[in-house]
Structure 1
Amino acid sequence: MNADLGGSPVRARSVMYYEYARACGATCFYDHAEQYLLKALKLDEESSGPVHYPLIELARLNLDQRQFVQAVPYFERALPVVEKLDAASKDPIGFADFLDEYAQALRETDRAADAAVFTARAADIRSRHSGAVSKTDRTPYGKHCIKKDESPQSQ
């Protein structure tokens, strides 16, 4: 809110929305995470910013909530963008992880034949880059939630 009111540059606001959304999603505030990822996406679209970041996070946020139908369109929009950025050579394992996640969403939406293509592509990339690791860390959506019967003091 302060960034909006203070007239922060578009790129700065987009990054703030994006990072805030990831933190919200990791702590199970999924609706808030989606809201701020959509805000980041909108700003990136309007300013020719890197739309693949919020698209991938929206896909993964839905994937991790097992909302596969909602995840697929975000994967579909992100794929041509990351391919154009040559993700397969810049971060082959990160790209293979993305392809496997996309394949999972496709399998869960009864698109097994489509999923097989992406699974095979990911496996091929991994076979050509054995021992490599992803250059990026995946947001741990839902991994840091407080259960209703827990208090912060008991952790």
Structure 2
Amino acid sequence: MISFNRFMKLATHVLGLALLFCLTGCINNPVNLYTAEKYYTLARAAEQSGDLERSAMFYSRAYGNALLGHAPSKDTAYALYEFSRLSGRLGRFDAADKGFTEVIALLDKSTGDTRALRAPTFTEHARLVLDKGLYAQSLPLFAKSLTAQDSLSTAEKYPFEYVALLDDYIISLEQSGHSDEAATVAIRAEIIRQQPTQFINRYFTAGQAAQKRGDWSVARKIWLAAVKNAESSAAPSEAIAPLYYEYGRTLGVLGAFDEAQAYLEKALAIERTGSGRPFVMDLNELARLNYDQGKFSAARIYFAEAVVALEARQAETHVSADYIEILTEYADCLRKLNRIDEAKTTEARIGVTRASHPKLDSITERTPYGKFPALGAIQKP
């Protein structure tokens, strides 16, 4: 039988070994790793829904659990990168700055190819510092970003995102007094921009991808490049109108309401002639742009015309969910203008449509006008 003193010595020895293994990272904790993955999934979903605060919280927990679970350095770095990126979008400069620096340190400890994360980390860090107005400090970060992006052939694979990066680098160079180098980079950007009009669809792919992931600041730069390219290459108006439309929507999300109105009006003017897409899409966005600003008188005019155009296309039958969403906002707009009888008539239409179509699925996502104004106030083209 083991004596009590001997038992305590053995227990202490075992506990000491367990602690040593944990501290040296020799044992992965599957519970923490599983929890980290769950939080990562929740963070993605929250970001896609526009809840950036909740997303940042979940990314932070994913990172914490990755550390506790002794995940590989590269896996831990991914969670920290996402937390840092969200912190930057929420205006938490110090947390983002520190986080991006630590991501690179983790990648330096990692084995294997780390370029896929190293490139966006330097890019986001450079833009974070640029947006803070620390132009000189951003220069080495931009240089490292471009080196990393070039190693991935980003200019060839994703030319429009690459040009957006060059444009940001140019701003930092100019503001830091390096005008000659800025001019050289500008030439490089212009060479990439001068692509034939058949590449417009690639702008759409890049711009819509940026919008989908909630990166509206990058989306703005892509749509601006698309507009400039299309206008300078004398693209047909029906090809330019959708670019005006997307650029206008993006400007509106970023809080540049007057510019958004102007570009959506440009799209409407072209598409009213019957060229390209149905102009009701432009009317819908103009109505909502004004509605979300509280400009109900202006919104009412656009809503009224949009409803007529939708009904002409039998929207109540083909896209009833979207039709009801427009009618609902139109009715609310009318009530805010104290046009109660018109509001009741509109609400009656909603009731009839709902009764005829009990199962409703919207085929579009509503533009979140004014939701990210801080991103749009950083640099104007």
TM-score by shorter chain over 0.5: yes
Which residue does the alignment assign to 1:121?
Answer: 349
* In structure 2, distance between residues paired with 1:117 and 1:32: 34
Tell me the equivalent position of 2:155. Answer: none
Deviation at 1:124, TM superposition (A): 2.8
Counterpart of 2:296?
68
Partner of 1:19: 246
Measured in 2, the distance between the counterparts of 1:113 and 1:61 equals 24
Aligned to 2:340: 112
Q: Is the 8 A contact 2:251 2:260 kept in 1?
A: yes
Larger gyration radius, structure 1 or structure 2: 2
Contact 2:315 2:323 in 1 (8 A): yes
- Name the stretch that deviates more: 43-52 or 69-78: 43-52
Tell me which residue corresponds to 2:279. Answer: 51
1:85-96 paired onto structure 2 within 5 Å: 85-96=313-324
Residue matched to 2:366: 138
Match of 1:4 among 220, 231, 239: 231
Q: Which amino acid aligns with 2:233?
A: G
Give the whole-Å Cα distance in 2 for the aligned partners of 1:84 and 1:47: 14
Identify the structure with the greater helix proportion. Answer: 2
Structure scoring higher RCO (CA < 8 A, sep ≥ 6) equals 1
What is the letter of the counterpart of residue 28 of structure 1? G
2:89 alignment partner in structure 1: none
**Unmatched tracts of structure 1, length 5 or more:** none
SS at match of 1:146: helix
Deviation string 1:110-129 (CA, Å, 9 cap, x unpaired) is 10110011112113322333
In the TM superposition, what is the alpha-carbon distance from 1:134 to its structure 2 partner? 1.1
TM-score, normalization by structure 2: 0.37
SS state at 1:121 partner: helix
- Deviations 1:68-109, CA, capped at 9 Å, x for gaps: 001111112112111011100111111011111111111111
Q: CA deviation at 1:47?
A: 4.1
Q: Is the 8 A contact 1:96 1:123 kept in 2?
A: no
RMSD of aligned alpha carbons: 1.9
Structure 2: 5+ residue stretches without partners: 1-227
Give the alignment's TM-score, normalised by structure 1. 0.88
Aligned partners of 2:238 and 2:275 also within 8 Å: no
Tell me how far apart the structure 2 counterparts of residues 127 and 144 of structure 1 sit (CA, whole Å). Answer: 37
Question: 1:133, CA displacement in angstroms?
Answer: 1.9
Aligned partner of 1:82 in structure 2 is 310
What residue in structure 1 maps to residue 255 of structure 2? 28
Aligned to 2:184: none
Preserved CA contact (<8 Å) 1:10 1:47: no
* Contact 2:237–2:275 (CA under 8 A) maintained in structure 1: no
SS of 1:132 mapped into structure 2: coil
State the distance in 1 between where 2:365 and 2:283 align: 16
